Structure formats: C-alpha cells, structure tokens
Structure 1
Amino acid sequence: MLLAAPMVNLGGKTLLQVTSHDESSGPRLIPFLLIKMINKSRGKILGVLALFLVMVWYSIYREDSFYFPVQENNKTTCPLGEVEKKAAQLIGNYTRDHPLFLQLKDYFWVKTPSLYELPYGTKGSEDVLLRLLSITHYSLPESIQSLKCRRCAVVGNGHRLRNSSMGDTINTYDVVIRLNNAPVHGYEQDVGSKTTMRLFYPESAHFDPRTENNPDTLLVLVPFKPMDFQWMEAILNDKRRVRKGFWKQPPLIWEANPEQVRILNPYYMEVTAAKLLNLPMKQPRKVKQKPTTGLLAITLALHFCDLVHIAGFGYPDSANKKQTIHYYEQITLKSMAASEHNVSHEAVAIKRMLELGLVKNLTYF
C-alpha cells in the first residue's frame, strides 16, 4: 500500500514523499496514538479524577456536617460528666449533693436549720411542712434511678411550640419535665404526651391533674409561700380548704395520689435566684423578684440529668404586644408586667447556658 507522506523540499523543488507501508502495521499505530492522546490529556484526566475524589469526600463530610446532636436519640452515647463540668462554669459552688425533694430524714434532723424563708428556705414553716412530709414521698422512681444516662427534656409553655411538630421527639427522652397547668391533651403533635415531672404551685395547679398527666407523673410542688404548704396539706388530708393568701384561687378539689406528690427542695430556687439571676435573698417587699417555674425547672435538670434539652422557651419581642406567650392560651406579654419575674434577665441566663453548650435547644430561642 502506498501512503502519501508530507511534502519534502529538496533544492527548491517540492516533492511528494511516497513510502511503502504494510497494512499489518496499522493496528500497531492505535496504542501509539492512544498514548499520545493520553499524554496530551493527562492534565484533564487528573483533573477529572481529583474532582471525583473531592465529590466522594464531600459526600461523606456532608453526612457528618448535617448530624444534629439535638435530635440524636442513641442512648448508648451519653456525655457523662459534661453537664457537671459546664454547670460548674456557670453556677458557683455547683454540687449534686442536695436531694431534689424534701424528706423528714434528711431535712429536719440536720444541725444547720434553714437560713431563709420561702421561697429560698423553709424558715418559719417547719410545723406545717412536718405534717405535709409525713404523707408525701421523696424518692425518684426506680425507672429513673437505674438509668445509666438520664436524658432530659424541659418543656416550656412558650408560643414557639405551636405547630412545631416536636411531640414525637419530646416523647423519646427518659425524663420530660413540664410546667404549671400547661395542657397536653389536644396538643400532642407539638408538645408530646409523656410527662415524668410536673412542677407547679397552687395557683398554677390544673384542676384535674389526671387529665394532663400520666398515671406515674411526679407532681412536684414549688413552694413560694407558707400558704402553699397549707393548701397542699388541706387537699391531701381533706381538711377545710384555705381560701385566702393567694393571688388567684387555687383548686379546692384536686384529686391526686399522695404517693405521686413531691415537695421541691427550696435549695434549687435559691441557686436559680442567687447564682443565675444574681438576686438578693432578702428583698424589699415592694420590689420582690422571683425566678419563673421554667428557669427553676432547667436548674433542677442541671442537677440530676446527664443531658438537658429545652423546648418552648423564650418570649416575644417586647415591642410585640399582640403576640401570645403560651402555646395554649391567648394571653400576651402585657400580662407579665405585673408579675414578679424579670423575663429579660432570665433570657440572658438561658442564652449563656446555650453558649456554654450546657443545654441544647429543640425550638428556636
């Protein structure tokens, strides 16, 4: 076979170089041409390969970067000791040595009596408290005591829970702490249905505790004043009801099992006020400020839980007068004006906890 070769210039004359080539040499040109093409395209091939490796790496990294520990429900991974370590940065002289609930054995036969009156101590209320503690209990259920990791959710009553669809997530926690008379029935999709503890005071007690709690829910009385002890004693012993001394009439009939009732140790109210809000323990009567039940519940959780998540905390902007503050009723921030709570100071305390990683938020704050 004759092949035309490139033109050759010889002595000013242009000749066509003709060479003879065997057809069998054609296939041998293919590898040569491929190698030549690869050499020319080596940079492009390496670039494509690098891009592929980057895509694989990003795919793996993306899975890790979208991992939210707030939603993690794996009970085998427990940050044991983390809450204590971080709480000590925020709460001076932090300790877990104090019992959660008052009991006769640990409270009345101690050498140092209470230094403060309610709500920060029991000074002056010993007699009625003695009678009350004789018919109530103080222990945590064995189902909680035996847990290797106590994963707790403190559920506030804030409007942020409405349409949040957080119910199923809240139900996965070992301990769910609720506040006051906040309803569950009819709001399960947003707030869940599990209630391990409910903190309340007489004016905030639900008229029928059985309708909004589980059969084994601990009903934890938060005493603000001596009349609170008297109300509880009268209810449980079916004595003549106490009607005066309350800013709102508490239930006169309150059907609860005394075995489920606990009396919160005022120590935790003292810690919340003095360590988190920097409030003086003795205040003038006209300017008294007290922590909310919500902040108190978070403080309590920080003293016995291994993981603390919160939901439904935070108030509307102070300029928003029409935004409701609770997920279940239409009262606005204006109703807080006459209260003894400083919600802005409490917001600062909770934000500090979030910054330290001491608590994590399930709803925006």
Structure 2
Amino acid sequence: MPLLLIKMINKSRGKILGVLALFLVMVWYSIYREDSFYFPVQENKTTCPLGEVEKKAAQLIGNYTRDHPLFLQLKDYFWVKTPSLYELPYGTKGSEDVLLRLLSITHYSLPESIQSLKCRRCVVVGNGHRLRNSSMGETIDTYDVVIRLNNAPVHGYEQDVGSKTTMRLFYPESAHFNPRTENNADTLLVLVPFKPMDFQWMEAILNDKKRVRKGFWKQPPLIWDANPERVRILNPYYMEVTAAKLLNLPMKQPRKVKQKPTTGLLAITLALHFCDLVHIAGFGYPDSANKKQTIHYYEQITLKSMAASEHNVSHEAVAIKRMLELGLVRNLTYF
C-alpha cells in the first residue's frame, strides 16, 4: 500500500509542480500590479474617463466650472466680462494698464494639437526629491499634456523626469532657466502673476525695455530668450480657486500674515479645470523633522529654505491627500 502511494505521488509530481509554478506566477503578478500603482504604464488610449474629473472636482471645489479661459486675452477678459474684484494674485484690479500692453504682444490660444484631443491625459510634474532616481521619465513622456514648474531642469534629468514639456508655469523670480534649452520648441511659457511688478518685468523683457530691478524678493533674470508667441498669462481665477476653495484662504489678508498657494498646487488646480485625467509626480516634502533632506530633485536646498516663504506646505499636503482619497488625481510617486 505505501509503495502504491509513492508511485501515485511520483506520477503526480509534474502536475503538482505545474500548479505550484502557476500559483507563484499569480502571486508575482499580483505584487507587480500593487507596485504599478505608483509607476504605471500609460493606460489604453481607447479608454477615457470623460466627465469623471468634473464630477469628482465638484465634490471638492464649490461652484466648480470650466467656463473660465485658461489664459488672459484682451477681448474676452477686459472688454466683455465684469472687471476683476481682486488685486493680484487673485485678480487684476489696479494692474489693467500694464497688463493690456503685455497682452498686446503675447498670445492666449492653446495649440491645435491639444484643443483637438478627444481626451486630455495630463501629468503635473512637481520638483520634489522623490523624482530623483525614479526612472519615471519614459512614463511621464507618454501623457498628452506635461505641466512643469518654475526653473525645474529637464536637460540631464530625462531618465527621471522625461523630456516633454507642454506648459511651464513660472513667475519672474523662478524664471532662471533657459526657455529654449529646458523646454520643447512649442512649450507654452505660462506667467503666474503674483504682483504688478511681474507684468512690468515680462513687458520689459519681451519689448527689450529698461529692466525692472526693484519689487522682487529675488532678482529675476535681466535677459530671457523667450519667443513672445509662446508666452501666456495665466488667468488669476485659478489662483483664486486654489486659495479660496482648496486652502480656505481669505482673499484679503493682513500684510503680516500673507499666505499664497505654491505654483505646484496651482498647476494641479489648473489641470482639474482642463484635463480629462490628472496624474501627479514628484509632489510632497520631507518630514518637518528631517532637516537635511533636500526638497528638489535638482538642487541641494532643504526644508529650511521654505521657512521664510508665504506657503503653508502642510496645509497644501492635506489638500492633495484629499484629492487622492477622492480619486480626483492619481499619484505616480509616493506622497
């Protein structure tokens, strides 16, 4: 009887090993799927979650609408619509004269290649240290719209951050990048205006006038080789939404207690009003107790440098986590 049992086991060994191998493959695939939540391959182009972003954004943003243009333009913003209620950065009240001159030499349209998309799949690339050695570059470049921030470099970091740039949001103090080498030829350079001096700087640069040197917390570049046809002026409406709806900041703050959204959170807000799918990468700061961890993937500065800023990064982290919980955005790196 034992001999017969041994023979039966020997005959079944191949089947048992086959079943075991199949089980191990299924376990591996399950683990791989778990990991791929953070480093996904671009989803099938035939599927598009049309309407999902609008539906979920309405749960988070009061009076959510996509009726406001992304960029300021002479005709629609000043000559037809109601004048702005707020001063910069939440409106243009008091800065109309210089802004009109600036809008006369810049553009406001979106490239036809983006306008004609049936589904706009967007990724907002933050500047965080989490992108270093992430090998996310190839994945980032698969999106239809890649939004980058400030002076974050691309050249030399392509493996981690990709090489495609559809829009780059910046303000004068963060314009220390070469517009032609760190962007694609068709990249939109989107000015985020925080104060009237920002309009004056941009006008002086594009018209080659006497440079504005005062009124900045950091000296902006005096020479900036940008094509005016690629420059856009962001509608302050999106700064207002970011501050009032996501961070619950008052539009009028005491001079000594001023807080403003970061360009990163602003870029996510913009994407939520423009895209059919929104993913983010490279967002999040080190723990406040970690004084030595660098905050950017490209330079050696720490969280200490944020101490004097007008940004509340903890408050913004809560807002982004809420978006993640709602499934409004998806994170490609850990947060």
Normalising by structure 2, report the TM-score: 0.90
Offset at residue 211 of structure 1 (A): 1.4
When residues 103 and 318 of structure 1 are mapped into structure 2, their CA distance, relative to the original with a 3 A threshold, is same
Percent identity over paired residues: 97
The yes-or-no answer on 1:91 pairing with 2:67 is: no
Offset at residue 293 of structure 1 (A): 0.2
When residues 234 and 364 of structure 1 are mapped into structure 2, their CA distance, relative to the original with a 3 A threshold, is same
* Distance in 1, Cα, partners of 2:170 & 2:242: 16
* Distance in 1, Cα, partners of 2:81 & 2:289: 51
When residues 69 and 284 of structure 1 are mapped into structure 2, their CA distance, relative to the original with a 3 A threshold, is same
Q: Counterpart in 2 of 1:269?
A: 239
Deviations 1:47-68 (A, max 9, x none): 9999999999999998999898
When residues 250 and 356 of structure 1 are mapped into structure 2, their CA distance, relative to the original with a 3 A threshold, is same
Contact 1:132 1:232 survives alignment (8 Å): yes
Q: Counterpart in 1 of 2:28?
A: 57
Equivalent pairs, count: 335
Contact 2:42 2:142 survives alignment (8 Å): no
When residues 78 and 243 of structure 1 are mapped into structure 2, their CA distance, relative to the original with a 3 A threshold, is same
* Distance in 2, Cα, partners of 1:112 & 1:171: 39
When residues 249 and 45 of structure 1 are mapped into structure 2, their CA distance, relative to the original with a 3 A threshold, is closer
When residues 173 and 44 of structure 1 are mapped into structure 2, their CA distance, relative to the original with a 3 A threshold, is closer
Per the alignment, in what secondary structure is the counterpart of residue 292 of structure 2?
A: coil
* Distance in 2, Cα, partners of 1:328 & 1:115: 39
Where does the alignment leave 5 or more consecutive residues of structure 2 unmatched? Answer: none
* Distance in 2, Cα, partners of 1:362 & 1:43: 41
Contact 1:70 1:360 survives alignment (8 Å): no
Contact 1:70 1:361 survives alignment (8 Å): no
Contact 2:137 2:159 survives alignment (8 Å): yes
Q: Counterpart in 2 of 1:233?
A: 203
Q: Counterpart in 2 of 1:355?
A: 325
Contact 1:274 1:281 survives alignment (8 Å): yes
When residues 185 and 92 of structure 1 are mapped into structure 2, their CA distance, relative to the original with a 3 A threshold, is same
When residues 80 and 32 of structure 1 are mapped into structure 2, their CA distance, relative to the original with a 3 A threshold, is same
Offset at residue 209 of structure 1 (A): 1.1
Contact 1:122 1:266 survives alignment (8 Å): yes
* Distance in 1, Cα, partners of 2:27 & 2:303: 51
Offset at residue 44 of structure 1 (A): 14
The structure whose RCO (Cα within 8 Å, separation 6+) is larger is: 2
When residues 313 and 36 of structure 1 are mapped into structure 2, their CA distance, relative to the original with a 3 A threshold, is closer
* Distance in 1, Cα, partners of 2:223 & 2:35: 53
Choose which of 335, 342, 356 in structure 1 pairs with 2:312: 342
Offset at residue 45 of structure 1 (A): 13
When residues 143 and 337 of structure 1 are mapped into structure 2, their CA distance, relative to the original with a 3 A threshold, is same
Per the alignment, in what secondary structure is the counterpart of residue 79 of structure 2?
A: coil
When residues 86 and 159 of structure 1 are mapped into structure 2, their CA distance, relative to the original with a 3 A threshold, is same
Contact 1:207 1:253 survives alignment (8 Å): no
The yes-or-no answer on 1:37 pairing with 2:8 is: yes
Per the alignment, in what secondary structure is the counterpart of residue 69 of structure 1?
A: coil
When residues 307 and 228 of structure 1 are mapped into structure 2, their CA distance, relative to the original with a 3 A threshold, is same
Offset at residue 41 of structure 1 (A): 14
Over 6 Å off, 4+ runs = 30-70
Offset at residue 231 of structure 1 (A): 0.2
Normalising by structure 1, report the TM-score: 0.83
* Distance in 1, Cα, partners of 2:91 & 2:107: 19
Contact 2:42 2:143 survives alignment (8 Å): no
* Distance in 2, Cα, partners of 1:265 & 1:154: 18
Offset at residue 208 of structure 1 (A): 2.0
Deviations 1:16-55 (A, max 9, x none): xxxxxxxxxxxxxx99999999999999999999999999
Offset at residue 99 of structure 1 (A): 0.0
Contact 1:291 1:341 survives alignment (8 Å): yes
Contact 1:70 1:362 survives alignment (8 Å): no
* Distance in 1, Cα, partners of 2:36 & 2:157: 32
* Distance in 2, Cα, partners of 1:257 & 1:185: 20
When residues 75 and 283 of structure 1 are mapped into structure 2, their CA distance, relative to the original with a 3 A threshold, is same
Where does the alignment leave 5 or more consecutive residues of structure 1 unmatched? Answer: 1-29
When residues 265 and 42 of structure 1 are mapped into structure 2, their CA distance, relative to the original with a 3 A threshold, is closer
When residues 172 and 242 of structure 1 are mapped into structure 2, their CA distance, relative to the original with a 3 A threshold, is same
* Distance in 2, Cα, partners of 1:202 & 1:177: 18
* Distance in 1, Cα, partners of 2:151 & 2:179: 9
Structure with the greater alpha carbon radius of gyration: 1
Contact 1:104 1:130 survives alignment (8 Å): yes
Offset at residue 112 of structure 1 (A): 1.7
* Distance in 2, Cα, partners of 1:57 & 1:167: 25
Per the alignment, in what secondary structure is the counterpart of residue 70 of structure 1?
A: coil
Deviations 1:258-285 (A, max 9, x none): 0000000000000000000000000001
* Distance in 2, Cα, partners of 1:170 & 1:359: 15
